[in-house]
A and B are shown apart, each in its own frame.
Chain A
Amino acid sequence: MRDFTYARAASVEDARRLAQQSGAMLLAGGTTLLDLAKCGVARPDHVVDITHLKGLDAIEVTREGAHLGALAKMSHVADDKAIRAEFPAVSEALWQAASAQLRNMATIGGNLMQRTRCAYFRDPNSFAACNKRQPGSGCAARGGITRNHAVLGTSSSCIATNPGDLAVALVAFDAIVHLGDRKVPVDDFFLLPGATPDREQAIEPGEVITAVSIPASAAARRSTYLKVRDRQSYEFAAASAAVGLDLEADGRTIRDIRVALGGVATKPWRAHAVEKALKGKTLEPETVMRASLLAMEGAIAQGDNHYKIDLAPRVIARAILKVGGLA
C-alpha cells in the first residue's frame, strides 16, 4: 500500500511550509483530491489538512467588493444574501455546480484547483498517454470520445476542458486570487495548456490560496450565470456563460458588459471580443446575437464537440438578453 503522511497545518504559515515538501497536497473539502486519489491520478506523499484553519472561511461583502475566504463552502457562498444581491452570477454559478452534497463539502479554494473531467486523464490504468498527467506521453483523447473537450484555447498537447463554473463568473468580473500576499488576477491564474498542460494554475509549490476577492461593479450587480447541459442537475456544462451588464441612463445603451464562457475552453474564457463589439451599442437581439458569434473566433472542433461552436454563442446571447430583460 502506498503510504502518505497526514498533517494538520497549525496555521497558514505552517501549511505553506508543509506544502513545500515534494509530493505534498493540500486537503480542503477533499471532493477533488479523494476522487483523483481513487482514480489513481493523485498520489500524494504528504497530505496537508487545512480544513480547520481559523479565519479562512469568511464571506464579506463591502462597497469595494466581495472577499471569499478560501475555506468558505460553495453552498454557503451560493446562499449568502449579499453575494446573491451584489454578485448574482457568482451565486448562480455555485448553485448549478456539482451536487448538494458536494457543495456542502467543497471549498472556494479547492474549487479553483479542480482538475479536468477528461476521461482519459482520469483513467491512468487504461490510458497511458496523457500530457497533463505525464508530460510528453501524448494525448489519448485525440481520436477518442471528445464530446466534452474544448474548442477554445487548445494546444497540440492537450484539448481538455476546464470544467469549473465558479471560475467563469470570477473571470468575468476580474476577481483576484490571493496567495497570501501575492495577488494574481484570476484570468492570469488559469493557464493555457500550451506545451505544459500539466500546469493548470499559476501557483507555486508551497503557496496556499487564502482568499478570492471580486471588485464590486454595476455589471456584477446585474449579472447571471447560464449553464446549459443535458441533465438538469449534477452535470458539467455543455456550454455556460457568465454575463454582467451595465446600461446607460437611457436603459438601452450598453455602458459596460462582461462575458465569460465555461465548458468550451481549456480555461475559464473571457470573451473580450464580444464585450468590445457591444460596448456603446444598443441592447437589442440582433446585435447581441451577431456579437456573440465573435466568441468562437479561433475555435477548433475536435470531432464530437463540434456542437459547442454552435451552442456557445447562443448561450452568451441568451444570457445577455436575459440580464438585459429581453429574454
Chain B
Amino acid sequence: MTPVAAKMKRGDSTDGGAASALGSRLSRIDGPAKIKGQARYGLEHHPANMAYAVIVQSTIPSGHIRAIDSKPAEAAPGVLLVITPDNVMPLKPITTWTGAPSSDKPYLALTREINFTGQHVAAVIAETFEQASEAAGLLRIDYEEKESIPSYDDPKSGAGNPLDAMAVAWGDAGRAFAEAPVRIEQTYRTPREYNVPIEPHGLVAEWQGDMLTVWEPSQWVNFMIHNYAEWYGLPDEKVRLISPYVGGGFGSKAFALGHGAIATMAAKMLNRPVKLAVTRPQTFTAFGGRPATRQTLSLGATKEGNLLSIVQKGANETSVDGVWVEPLASVTALMYATPNLSARQNIVPVNTVTPCALRAPGENPSAWGIECAIDELSYEVGIDPVAIRLLNYAEEDPHAKKPWSTRRLREAYEEGAKAFGWAKRNPKPRSMRDGHHLIGWGVAAGTYPVRRTAGEALVRIFADGRAEVASSGIDMGQGTYTILAQTAAEAIGMPVEQIEVKLGDSALPGAPVAGGSQLANLMTGAVHKAATAARDELIGLAINDPKSPFRELQANTLSIADGVISPPRGGESMSIAELLRRLGRDKIEVQRDTLPENANSAADKLATYNTITRMRSPTDGDYSLHAWCVHFIEVRVDEDFGTVRVSRVVSALDSGRLYNPKLAESQWKGGIIMGIGQALLEEGLVDPRQGRVINNNLGDYLIATNADIPDIEVISVGVPDFHASALGGKAVGELGIVGVAPAIANAVYHATGKRIRELPITLEKLLGD
C-alpha cells in the first residue's frame, strides 16, 4: 500500500474491511496482558531493598507552620527518614511546559507556608507502608492559621485578575446586545471536578550513582524526565522514566509533581529505592482538577433567531500561588456566526491547589455555557433547537476568519437527528411522559481543536519476520499500541500480529504530550513515515543487493503484502524474513521524525518534546482545524423525586478519518460517559471553613456507574482531513465529552420546564417548584 492509497481511506467500513490494517476494528493489542494481570504498572515494580514513603498533608487552608515535631515519628518502628520543610532538599528550578523558567529560586517541595488544605507538608519513609502510614500520624504540626478564601463565591476573593491578553472581541458587542430585539442573559456554573483515574498517582524511584530511574505513570515521558533532570541538575540522559501502561490520566499525569520530587529526593537521601503511592484522598489535592467556572452570557438576536451579539464574562478559580486558566471563550467564539462578540475572563485566586487539565479544559465549560444559552434563545424566539443552530451556522471560523479545513457539523446534525428521531419532537416542555417520568429531548454541539506537534519513531524489521515500532509516546488506554501497529503493518505490508510496539520509555525516540488529543495523529504520521522508509529500504536492498534473488528481475520496484515480497510481473515471491536471511541482515532499522526540515536540530527536538512551544495552533496556516460533534440526549426525570436518568444518547461526530473505528468509538463513548457523570453527579464538596474536599474518595465523589449509562450510539460523519494531519484524522479523545452536559441540561428543561444552570443537576435542584 502506498501512502497515496492510504490517504484515500476514511477509517470506516468503506475502507475495505478487516484485510486493511489501518481503519480496521482491531481490538486493543494490549488488552490480553491487562486482562491477565501481566501488564505491570508503575507502582507494581519492586526493586530490592525498597522503602515506602507516605505523604502528610496540611489540615489548614492558609497560614504558616510554626513548628513540626517529627521526633515521635522518627522514633516509631521501621522509620528511616522524615522529610519536613526543615530538611527538604532544595531542587533546582525547572523549565515549565510552556518553555518559560519556573522561577529563579530553588524549588521546595515542602514549605512552611500553607496555601491550601491538603498541601504536602511532610513525608515519612519507612521499611513498610504500614509503618510509614502509622508514623505519619505521629507528626505534631503546630499551625498558625490565617484567614482564607475558600472559593470565588466568597466576597473576600474579589473579582480576580482580568486576562486582558485572552480577551476576544469583534464588532461592538455591548451596544449590539443593548439594541437587540431579543435578549437573554444568564449565568452558567460548573463546580470543581476531579480527574480520579482508576490508577492513582505515585512512583518508584531508584538512584544508581547519578542515574535516576523512575517507574511512574506518565502522559508525557519526555517532559517529566527533563523536569526530574533539571531538579537534580542532570542531563536528560541521566534520567530514565518507564511508563508502559497508564491507568487513565485525563490530563493529570503529564507533569512531575510534588510527590515525585519527594520520592526521588528520599531515594537519594536514603540511597535506597523508594515507592510513594499517593492515597486516593490525597489525590484530590496532590494535583488540581478542573477549576470551578462561571460565565455570564448575554445573547442578542433578531426575532427570527439570528444572533446579533454574544457577550461573555467569565471567571475561573485559580490558586493563590499559581495560575490556571480554563479558557472559557474557546467554543463561544467559534461555534456560531455573530457580527459582534466580546469575551473576557478573570481568574480568581482562592486557597486551593492549582487547578489543572481535565479532559477538554476550556472547551468543556465553554460549551456548557453557549450550548445552554443558544437553547434558551431557541425557546425565546420559538425555533427548534437544531434549526437555530443551523440558522447561525458558522461557514468559516468567525474569530480567525479562516475557512474550516473540514466541518461536518451540518452532517452531524442531520445524521444524528435522523438516528435519534428528532423530527418527532414536540418542542413544548413537559409534553412527554411515561408514568412518573417526564421525558425530555435535548441537543448540544461540541468541538475540540486539532493540535499539531511533530513526533518521531523508530521502526525495525527483523530477520525473523517481525517488526518493531518504538516511541516514548504513551498508551493510557486510548489505543496507541494498537493504531501504531496498524500503521506500521499497513505501511510495510505486514500482518499486524507481527508488529511489536514499544512505548512509554524515555530511552525510546521522543514524543510530545499525550494531551490535547494530538498523539494519535502525530504518532501515526511519524510511524507511517518511518515504516514507509523502512519498506523503501527493504525494497531497495531487494532490487540492488547482489545476494537478492530479485536483483535479476531488474524491476523498478516490488510489492509487499502480508509480509511477502512479490515482483511486479509474476515470478517467485519471498517472505521478508527469507530475504533478510539471504542478504545476511539481521534487521533493517529506520528512525524518522516529522519536524520541519529547516528546524530539526537537537535543540528543536528538545523544544518539541519537552515543551508545548512547538505545538501549532489550530489556526496556524490557511485553515481553521477542529473536530465537531452533536449529542442528542433523552432524559427521564422523576416528577416527584427530581432524579434524572439518561435513557438514550445518539451522538454524531466528525473526527476526520478514524484509524481504528472501534477504539475511536470507545474514546467518544468514554467522553460521553464522563459527560453524563459531569452533568448529573460530579462535584468536589469543599468544607467552607477548613477547605477540605470532604468527598475525597470513590464512594463519595460520584462518577457514573454502569447503571447510569444507557446504550450510546455514535455515528462517524468525518472524512479524511489532510490539512489536519498526515493521515487525515482530527481530534478524538477529548471531543466526546464536549457538549454532553448542556445536551442533558437542555433535555431536562424540555422534560420539566426548569432550567438548571449550575452543574451537577442533582435531585434537590429539581425538587422545588
Q: In the bound complex, what is the Cα–Cα distance between A315 and B643 (angstroms)?
A: 12
A318 x B436 contact (CB < 8 A): yes
Residues of chain B contacted by A2 (CB below 8 angstroms) = 134
The stretch among A152-160, A171-179, A224-232, A270-278 that forms the contact with chain B is A224-232
Q: In the bound complex, what is the Cα–Cα distance between A152 and B43 (angstroms)?
A: 46
Instruction: Among B638, B699, B768, find the residue whose CB has the most chain A CB atoms closer than 10 A.
Output: B699
Interface residues on A, range: 20 to 34
Contacting residue for B708 out of A127, A143, A232, A238, CB 8 A: A232
Within A205-236, which residues are at the interface with B (CB < 8 Å)? 228-235
- B76, CB-defined interface residue at 8 Å: yes
Q: In the bound complex, what is the Cα–Cα distance between A306 and B641 (angstroms)?
A: 14
| Contact A310/B767 with A144-B689, A228-B643 known, Cβ cut-off 8 Å | yes
| Contact A125/B137 with A233-B705, A234-B705, A318-B436 known, Cβ cut-off 8 Å | yes
Residues of chain A contacted by B59 (CB below 8 angstroms) = 125-126
Residues of chain B contacted by A230 (CB below 8 angstroms) = 643, 680-681, 702, 760, 762-763
Q: In this complex, what residue of A is CB-closest to B686?
A: A145
Q: In this complex, what residue of B is CB-closest to A314?
A: B640
A119 x B700 contact (CB < 8 A): yes
- A87, CB-defined interface residue at 8 Å: no
B76 to chain A, nearest CB (A): 7
Q: In the bound complex, what is the Cα–Cα distance between A314 and B642 (angstroms)?
A: 11
- A327, CB-defined interface residue at 8 Å: yes
- A1, CB-defined interface residue at 8 Å: yes
Residues of chain A contacted by B690 (CB below 8 angstroms) = 126-127, 144
Residues of chain B contacted by A123 (CB below 8 angstroms) = 692, 694
- A40, CB-defined interface residue at 8 Å: yes
Within A33-89, which residues are at the interface with B (CB < 8 Å)? 40
Q: In this complex, what residue of B is CB-closest to A143?
A: B689
1/0 per position for A110-123, CB-CB distance to B under 8 A?
A: 00000001011001
Instruction: Among A143, A229, A232, find the residue whose CB has the most chain B CB atoms closer than 10 A.
Output: A232
Interface size on B, residues (CB 8 A): 45
Q: In the bound complex, what is the Cα–Cα distance between A317 and B638 (angstroms)?
A: 14
Contacting residue for B706 out of A119, A233, A310, CB 8 A: A233
A232 x B763 contact (CB < 8 A): no
Within B484-515, which residues are at the interface with A (CB < 8 Å)? none
- B111, CB-defined interface residue at 8 Å: no
- A255, CB-defined interface residue at 8 Å: no
1/0 per position for B60-101, CB-CB distance to A under 8 A?
A: 000000000000000011100000000000000000000000
A307 x B643 contact (CB < 8 A): no
Residues of chain B contacted by A105 (CB below 8 angstroms) = none
A318 x B640 contact (CB < 8 A): yes
Residues of chain B contacted by A184 (CB below 8 angstroms) = none
A315 x B641 contact (CB < 8 A): yes
- A199, CB-defined interface residue at 8 Å: no
A1 x B78 contact (CB < 8 A): yes
1/0 per position for A311-322, CB-CB distance to B under 8 A?
A: 100110110000
- A147, CB-defined interface residue at 8 Å: yes
Residues of chain A contacted by B764 (CB below 8 angstroms) = 147, 306-307, 311
- B130, CB-defined interface residue at 8 Å: yes
B763 x A231 contact (CB < 8 A): no
Contacting residue for B641 out of A125, A231, A314, CB 8 A: A314
1/0 per position for B114-138, CB-CB distance to A under 8 A?
A: 0001000000000010110111010
A145 x B687 contact (CB < 8 A): yes
1/0 per position for B499-538, CB-CB distance to A under 8 A?
A: 0000000000000000000000000000000000000000
| Contact A233/B767 with A123-B694, A125-B59, A228-B641 known, Cβ cut-off 8 Å | no
Contacting residue for B767 out of A1, A117, A234, A307, CB 8 A: A307
B714 to chain A, nearest CB (A): 22
Residues of chain A contacted by B699 (CB below 8 angstroms) = 117, 234
Q: In this complex, what residue of A is CB-closest to B77?
A: A1
B712 to chain A, nearest CB (A): 16
B130 x A1 contact (CB < 8 A): yes
Q: In this complex, what residue of B is CB-closest to A289?
A: B640
1/0 per position for A92-131, CB-CB distance to B under 8 A?
A: 0000000000000000000000000101100101110000
| Contact A310/B762 with A1-B78, A1-B130 known, Cβ cut-off 8 Å | no
Residues of chain A contacted by B688 (CB below 8 angstroms) = 143-145
What residues make up the interface of A, taking CB atoms closer than 8 Å to B?
A: 1-2, 40, 117, 119-120, 123, 125-127, 143-145, 147, 228-235, 238, 306-307, 310-311, 314-315, 317-318, 327
**26 CB-based A-B contacts, threshold 8 Å:** A1-B77, A1-B131, A1-B133, A1-B134, A40-B137, A119-B685, A119-B700, A127-B692, A144-B694, A147-B764, A229-B643, A230-B680, A230-B681, A231-B680, A231-B702, A231-B704, A231-B707, A232-B708, A234-B705, A234-B707, A235-B702, A238-B763, A306-B764, A307-B767, A311-B764, A318-B640
What residues make up the interface of B, taking CB atoms closer than 8 Å to A?
A: 59, 76-78, 117, 128, 130-131, 133-135, 137, 435-436, 638, 640-643, 645, 680-681, 685-690, 692, 694-695, 699-700, 702, 704-708, 760, 762-764, 767-768
Q: Which 4 A-B pairs give the minimum distances between C-beta atoms? A: A307-B764, A233-B707, A232-B707, A119-B694
